[in-house]
Structure 1
Amino acid sequence: MSRPVDIDAAVVAELVEEQFPRWAHLPVRAVARQGWDNRTFRLGEDLSVRLPVAESYATAVQKESRALEFLAGRLPVAVPSVVALGEPGHGYPFPWSIRRWLDGDTVDRVAGLDRVRLAVDLGGLLRVLRSLPVHAGQAAGRHSFFRGSHPSVYSDDVHAALQRLDGTVDTEICRSVWFAATSSVWESSPVWFHGDVAVGNLLVSDGGLSAMIDFGTCGVGDPACDLVMAWTYFEGDARDAFRDAAGLDAATWRRARGWALWKALVTLSGGSGPGGVDSRRVLHEVLTSPL
């Protein structure tokens, strides 16, 4: 991946003033918690500006805009609404977007959340997403970082991570889980997937799931990748409730477990994203909770 670009509020304000002068009077401020692929800024009270940090993420801007236009009103929760698409300028090299601001807190910031309720809500949301016509979606591939593809696309990463982690993780069980994950395929027609169902991409209001955001890796293909919260967040009764609400067959859940395993291993081995205690906890859940 190319080196991430630096983005600050001053650059965002210049882009808005030049390309969308009707909003130039609105104050620009960075949101408190930023994502990995994009930087987000509030534009006044009702809008936000979303800017990819690298070229590999910039290719999703147009795709995500088309997908969100199709998905709006078809899901039981809100999704971002794109109101304008921007172009490179003022030293910023990528396309970007302005969206309606969605109220709510991300799941990871809500204390005392009823996880069983969230599990049921999320499973139901994913069922609806899978039921929608796929003509507006893009087939899984490089644009989705191969989410929605067969997990074996990352087999080399898994084996390399296990070599680096040898002696610190149970490599035998890891290989067994990975083999099970890669021994089946999605045999039905391709369906919609979000591609990054995570606590930071789900908004909660009044204790219930109210919105799903960050559709940059969405597409159509195998929905197994959307089930990883069974190991990254849910436990016990909530995990069982998520499995029941989301549906899908045992083979798809094995592939989902493989997706969770891959991410935990490459993060722990230093190959992708931030590492730390959480990835080791996720790996423990993956290896001890097969579903």
Structure 2
Amino acid sequence: MERGIAVPDAPDADIAVDPHLVERLVRGQRPDLVGPLQLVANGWDNAVFRLGDDLAVRMPRRTTAAHLIEHEQEWLPSIAARVPVAVPLPVHAGEPTAEFPWPWSIVPWFEGRSAASVAPASREGIARTLADFVHALAVPAPGNAPHNPYRGVPLADREEVVWDRLAGRRVERAAELAVLWDHLVQVEPWAGPPLWVHGDLHPANIVVTDAAPEAAGVDPAALVAVVDFGDLTAGDPATDLAVAWLAFDAVGRAAFRARIDELGPRDEATWQRARAWALVWATAVAESTDGDGPIAAIGRHAVTEVLLEE
């Protein structure tokens, strides 16, 4: 993961997490792993510290998201064994303490950078490998899988909130998006069993190689890992296919879709719901972020891409 990643458009933290707090937690529960700490990401829901050379500490920063890290601790072992891409399988499931009341994790450190730091046109190199990941993840989930009321659900469950966002003043090209949403929300819903869904698959949660674009013989956007499984849930697999619009331009999207359809063709209704989920994500970002941070940039890109196609 790239050094110094920040999300300037993220909400304020409910608990300020600093290296001194993290060092005390690690020393108290895994003294064998104590090492130098460096803050590398202060994200939407979590702060991430590099621990030594090979590990990272993932610390919740908001009450509303604190329980999500438990999903990773419980379910990533089985997912890691199935998918062809590295995921942050916890090395230690940190327990709450009197000083820090939420679960936290020590996970592997992935050398590379956020795909959000790579221009969309340069992400085509990860399209096929990312499609392999999405396909491998999307198997029927057990009955006790996490339920996320905002991801993987029927589009009708998100209809009212999207209309409210489009009626406001924060979403660019809202009138065009409204016409598209009116069409997409009527697409046939998912009728299959609930499948595993990452739930937040966008460039900021994808790690790619850190090679400079001009490095001879090296793909600057080779896929290293998929991270942040806090929104993991069971439901409509079209939710994760939305990454086709969130991460790629038309060329990369075509490569991603072609590989998905090689592995197991999805019907047109599923691809249309995926486009709708990209619209859902983009309007959520537009409503809740300001400025030029990476999440806002992904949202603006998604708006352009979902409106690009007929």
Both proteins in one fold, TM over 0.5: yes
The answer to whether the 8 Å contact 1:2/1:56 transfers is no
Per the TM alignment, residue 5 of structure 1 is displaced from its structure 2 partner at its CA by 1.6
Change (3 A) 1:170 1:141: closer
Change (3 A) 1:125 1:200: same
Structure 1 alignment gaps of length 5 or more: none
Change (3 A) 1:120 1:137: farther
Q: How many residues align?
A: 281
**Could you tell me which residue of structure 2 aligns to residue 7 of structure 1?**
17
Per the TM alignment, residue 243 of structure 1 is displaced from its structure 2 partner at its CA by 1.6
Change (3 A) 1:237 1:111: closer
**Could you tell me which residue of structure 1 aligns to residue 232 of structure 2?**
218
Which of 37, 42, 54 does residue 28 from structure 1 map onto?
37
d(CA) in 2 for partners of 1:114, 1:168: 25
**Could you tell me which residue of structure 2 aligns to residue 245 of structure 1?**
259
**Could you tell me which residue of structure 1 aligns to residue 279 of structure 2?**
261
Show the 5 A alignment for 1:145-184. Answer: 146-165=150-169, 169-171=173-175, 173-183=176-186, 184=188
Per the TM alignment, residue 179 of structure 1 is displaced from its structure 2 partner at its CA by 2.7
**Could you tell me which residue of structure 1 aligns to residue 6 of structure 2?**
none
Change (3 A) 1:252 1:59: same
Q: What's the RMSD between the two structures over aligned residues?
A: 2.6
d(CA) in 2 for partners of 1:81, 1:98: 9
Change (3 A) 1:45 1:221: same
Change (3 A) 1:219 1:241: same
Which of 264, 281, 303 does residue 283 from structure 1 map onto?
303
Deviations 1:162-184 (A, max 9, x none): 2213996342x323322333222
d(CA) in 2 for partners of 1:137, 1:211: 26
The answer to whether the 8 Å contact 1:137/1:192 transfers is no
**Could you tell me which residue of structure 2 aligns to residue 64 of structure 1?**
72
Deviations 1:227-258 (A, max 9, x none): 22322231122111112222322111221222
Per the TM alignment, residue 137 of structure 1 is displaced from its structure 2 partner at its CA by 6.6
Per the TM alignment, residue 51 of structure 1 is displaced from its structure 2 partner at its CA by 0.9
The answer to whether the 8 Å contact 2:120/2:249 transfers is no
d(CA) in 2 for partners of 1:246, 1:140: 25
Deviations 1:110-138 (A, max 9, x none): 479853331121112211212x4523871
Change (3 A) 1:85 1:280: closer
SS in 2 for 1:30: strand
The answer to whether the 8 Å contact 1:106/1:200 transfers is yes
d(CA) in 2 for partners of 1:129, 1:198: 15
For 2:276, the aligned partner's letter is: G
The answer to whether the 8 Å contact 1:195/1:226 transfers is yes
For 2:242, the aligned partner's letter is: V
Show the 5 A alignment for 1:60-209. Answer: 60-89=68-97, 91-110=99-118, 114-130=122-138, 132=139, 134-135=141-142, 138-142=145-149, 146-165=150-169, 169-171=173-175, 173-183=176-186, 184-205=188-209, 207=219, 208-209=222-223
SS in 1 for 2:92: strand
d(CA) in 1 for partners of 2:164, 2:172: 14
Which of 16, 34, 55 does residue 47 from structure 1 map onto?
55
d(CA) in 2 for partners of 1:167, 1:189: 33
The answer to whether the 8 Å contact 2:39/2:48 transfers is yes
d(CA) in 2 for partners of 1:62, 1:168: 35
**Could you tell me which residue of structure 1 aligns to residue 212 of structure 2?**
none
Change (3 A) 1:11 1:166: closer
The answer to whether the 8 Å contact 2:146/2:232 transfers is no
d(CA) in 1 for partners of 2:223, 2:50: 22
Deviations 1:142-191 (A, max 9, x none): 4xxx21112332222211112213996342x3233223332221111221
Of 7-16 and 111-120, more deviation after overlay is shown by: 111-120
